[in-house]
Amino acid sequence: MKCKLLDWVLYYIVLSSYLKFSTSKLKRSKKLSNKVIVMLLKPLKRKL
């Protein structure tokens, strides 16, 4: 359980920081940011 929780926290931190970065610098390339988010979520789905 601890390991899964840690993974969730790590992914949340990465996603939130990336979203902050993308909203500030990459507003034009929303498709790119969506692709990266999907790429980040795929391994998380495999673990669940």
- Encode pLDDT of 6-38 as tens digits: 888 888 888 888 878 766 665 666 676 678 778
Structure-block tokens of residue 40: 């980040």
pLDDT beyond 60 at 4: yes
Count of alpha carbons within 13 angstroms of residue 18, beta-carbon side: 17
The pLDDT of residue 39: 79
The pLDDT of residue 28: 61
For the purposes of burial, counting CB atoms within 10 Å of the CB of 33, is it exposed (0-12), middle (13-18) or buried (19 or more)? middle
For the purposes of burial, counting CB atoms within 10 Å of the CB of 27, is it exposed (0-12), middle (13-18) or buried (19 or more)? exposed
The pLDDT of residue 11: 86
Give the range of the structural domain holding residue 19, as residue numbers without chain letter: 2-47
Query: Domain tally for the chain?
Result: 1
Q: What is the DSSP letter of 27?
A: S
pLDDT beyond 70 at 48: no
Judge if pTM exceeds 0.75: no
